[in-house]
Amino acid sequence: MKDYSDWEPYLDYENESPYLENPNRPWLKFRPDYIPKSIKFDPIPVHEYLKRTITKYLNNVCVYYKPKDKKYTYRDLVNISDRIANALHEAGVKKGDGVAIMTSNCPEFLFCCLGIMETGASLVPINPLLKEVDVTHIIKDAGIIDTIFVHKNNFRVIKKVRKDIEFKNVILLGTEEAKPDTITFQEFISGKTPKPPEVDIDPMNDIAALLYTGGTTGLPKGVMLTHNNLVACSLASLNGLKKDDVEDIDIYGKNTVLTVLPICHSFGFQILLSSSVLATMLVMFQSFNASEVLEAIEYYKTSIFIGVPVMFQMLVNSPDFRNRDLSSLESAISGSAALSPELNRKWEEVVGFKVGQGFGLTETAAITHMSPTWLPKIIIESIGIPLIDTDVKIVNPDSLEELPPGEIGEILIKGPQIMKGYWKKPEETAETIVDGWLRTGDLARMDDEGYFYIEGRTKDIIKYKGYKIMPKEVEEKLCEHPGILEAGVVSAPDPNIGETIKAYIALRPEYKEKVTEIDIIEWSKEKMAAYKYPRKVEFVNVLPRTVVGKIFRRKLRESHQILKS
DSSP 413-453: EESTTS-SEETT-HHHHHHHEETTEEEEEEEEEE-TTS-EE
Over residues 105-127, the mean pLDDT reads 97
- What confidence category does residue 448 fall into, taking pLDDT thresholds of 50, 70 and 90? very high
Give Cα separations from 302 to 3, 124, 259, 327, 349 (angstroms).
36, 31, 12, 9, 19
**Residue 498: which H helix or E strand, with range?**
strand 498-507
The tens digit of pLDDT for each residue in 11-64 reads 999 999 999 999 999 999 999 999 999 999 999 999 999 999 899 899 999 999
413: β partners: 392, 438
Beta strands 433-434; 437-446: pairing state: antiparallel
Entry pTM? 0.84
Task: Evaluate whether 60 touches 278 at the Cβ level (below 8 Å).
Answer: no
User: Is the Cα dihedral 548, 337, 344, 267 positive or negative?
Assistant: positive
CA 453 vs. chain centroid, Å, equals 18
Three-class SS of residue 217?
Answer: coil
Predicted local distance difference test score (pLDDT) of residue 551: 82
Give Cα separations from 324 to 33, 291, 294, 316, 508 (angstroms).
37, 9, 7, 12, 23
Predicted local distance difference test score (pLDDT) of residue 420: 98
Phi, psi of 268 (to 5 degrees): -65, -35
- What confidence category does residue 338 fall into, taking pLDDT thresholds of 50, 70 and 90? confident
Over residues 245-257, the mean pLDDT reads 72
Over residues 260-283, the mean pLDDT reads 93
pLDDT exceeding 90 applies to what percent of the chain?
76
Predicted local distance difference test score (pLDDT) of residue 341: 85
The tens digit of pLDDT for each residue in 152-199 reads 999 999 999 999 999 999 999 999 999 999 999 999 999 999 999 999
Task: Evaluate whether 207 touches 226 at the Cβ level (below 8 Å).
Answer: yes
Give Cα separations from 467 to 489, 501, 529, 532 (angstroms).
15, 11, 11, 9
The tens digit of pLDDT for each residue in 351-364 reads 999 999 999 999 99
- What confidence category does residue 246 fall into, taking pLDDT thresholds of 50, 70 and 90? low
Domains and CATH numbers, the chain: 461-564 (3.30.300.30)
The tens digit of pLDDT for each residue in 466-509 reads 667 878 889 889 999 999 999 999 988 877 777 889 999 999 99
Predicted local distance difference test score (pLDDT) of residue 249: 44
- What confidence category does residue 560 fall into, taking pLDDT thresholds of 50, 70 and 90? low
Residue 454, pLDDT above cutoff 90: no
The tens digit of pLDDT for each residue in 378-429 reads 998 899 999 999 999 999 998 999 999 999 999 999 999 999 999 999 999 9
Three-class SS of residue 113?
Answer: helix
Neighbouring C-alpha atoms within 13 Å toward the C-beta of 165:
24
Name every residue whose Cβ is closer than 8 Å to that of residue 65 and which is 6 or more positions away in sequence: 71, 72, 106, 107, 284
The tens digit of pLDDT for each residue in 187-237 reads 999 999 999 999 999 999 999 999 998 654 457 899 999 999 999 999 999
Rounded distance, CA 55 to CA 433, Å? 38
Mean pLDDT for the chain overall: 91
Three-class SS of residue 71?
Answer: strand
- What confidence category does residue 550 fall into, taking pLDDT thresholds of 50, 70 and 90? confident
Predicted local distance difference test score (pLDDT) of residue 563: 46
Predicted local distance difference test score (pLDDT) of residue 10: 96
